[in-house]
Structure 1
């Protein structure tokens, strides 16, 4: 499963010299036939690339075949997150893409997420660009992840400059979704008014954290007229990511698959639905699968079947089984 428990100690990411907090080398599964596609997937909090990757690519479809055997032309890349001190676990360092205090009440101390999201976005973009330089076009590259890896990779995908081949998310959520909702002028997380995950900011922890900067980058007027551009612009501003004046938001053409268990005890089902609706509001074509009897994991073999079908349909390829 996706353990969200502390592990061995390490240095504190963000306060130590960069050479001490480099990401471990990713776990890579090479294709068994000529390399035509690349799939980059991020593990959940407390896990690592080899553990998650080995289990995922060997999970069977309904025919008994695995994703590795049905997609022999794909190169699989499973990065491992840095050790970051987790506030929830008394600042013990664990593998996590970003720190967060409460997944299901993200507004509380939400600023904890920013540094990790910034670094992880840069990592994911670097991996994509390396594959492009090696000869794999962006439209043949798929990104995604599980749990916190879904959240981090989804944020990174939204900040990318062009369309990629596809996105796969399992039992995850969209960080800072309420600000996307606000930019789009819609409410996607309505529910019990007494159980609103979006409470007010902790003013003592983050005074003025989301106030707009006085600096202008030349395209604020256009962003204000276009809710989608404003939403993507917020996500980039939030992690101090550069915004291009000629950004045509090609990434919105990326096909998306999201799967979530209705019995998920760690990331509430409504957060998956919220991510789905936010992406649809931005204009993405989203394939959504909810699994009634599933907790915090991916459904075997049904979800593996759905992921294989999504990949073959969106990438225009044929599996070997």
Structure 2
């Protein structure tokens, strides 16, 4: 494997794991809060699938790009500096202190969009997959909904959620009860269907809302490229950090936004992935991407950033 991990700017340079055969595809995979590319990549790529293979043996033409989050203060941890893609409060009440998320989500989404553009320029949009675990899943989903480029091959998320879900759900389904309403509190940001534009779909309105919250430019008709990116979501039923209900609600919202979602849940699994989850993910990726796993040379490619 060829690795590159020098640092530059707010985000350390991504760790690059070379393809074992000629490079034709790229995975961009984001770690969870408090981790980094070095720890996350080694654990993920060393995990054996149910058939005894690994990600690299299944996809020998794929280069793996593992970014590392910048260090930011985590309010919930007494403002300690940790590697996190954005700051956020407890997920038991995801609507609480949502403003903590804005700066990091905006900066990291732009960073991920830049990585996508670079890899698409190298291997083509249909040969790029984006994915993430936990907070890495969350920011990758926000990046998907705000992506305005050519649709890429596929996306996956493990034990994650989508920020600002409650209010986007209010837009695409006004009858849904928000978290604040369940607590008996008025939802000051609740969607008003009387203000709907007949020319803009609820899904487009929801994306426009997200872009506005993240201080991104809002167009009269947002890009709907995300509707052409297929999505796999897996979640442990026993997840103690990102409640299972948050993951399931995220999958439901993504479907309402017009995305082709494959949802898998795993009994007995906490806040991590399992061999079974990765096995299902690989089967799904094989079906959706149709990537060739055998053609090519045994040349090893090293790519630096």
> What TM-score, normalized to structure 2?
0.86
74-83 or 156-165, larger mean C-alpha shift? 156-165
CA contact (8 A) 1:118 1:239 kept: yes
The whole-number CA distance in structure 2 between the counterparts of 1:132 and 1:109 is 35
| Residue 163 of structure 1: how far off its partner (Å) | 1.4
Instruction: Please tell me whether residue 78 in structure 1 is matched to residue 66 in structure 2.
Output: yes
The residue number in structure 1 matching 2:144 is 157
Q: For CA contacts below 8 A with separation 6 or more, give which structure has more relative contact order.
A: 2
266-275 or 220-229, larger mean C-alpha shift? 220-229
CA contact (8 A) 1:189 1:274 kept: no
Among residues 134, 137, 140, which one is paired with 2:124 in the alignment? 137
Give the secondary structure class of the aligned counterpart of 1:259. Answer: strand
The residue number in structure 2 matching 1:101 is 89
Give the secondary structure class of the aligned counterpart of 2:101. Answer: helix
Say if 1:284 and 1:211 are closer, same or farther in 2 by CA, change over 3 A: closer
State the Cα deviation string for residues 239-286 of structure 1 (Å, max 9, x = none): 121234564412211100000000001110000001100000001110
The CA RMSD measured in Å over matched residues stands at: 2.7
Say if 1:31 and 1:21 are closer, same or farther in 2 by CA, change over 3 A: closer
Matches within 5 A, 1:17-166: 22-134=10-122, 136-161=123-148, 162-166=150-154
Q: 4+ residue stretches of structure 1 with deviation over 3 A?
A: 186-194, 198-201, 220-225, 243-248
Say if 1:103 and 1:199 are closer, same or farther in 2 by CA, change over 3 A: farther
Instruction: Please tell me whether residue 179 in structure 1 is matched to residue 154 in structure 2.
Output: no
> What TM-score, normalized to structure 1?
0.82
Aligned residues: 284
The whole-number CA distance in structure 1 between the counterparts of 2:34 and 2:198 is 37
CA contact (8 A) 2:142 2:163 kept: yes
Matches within 5 A, 1:294-305: 294-300=269-275, 302-305=276-279
Unaligned residue ranges in structure 2 (runs of 5+): 1-6, 295-305
CA contact (8 A) 2:26 2:62 kept: yes
| Residue 233 of structure 1: how far off its partner (Å) | 0.8
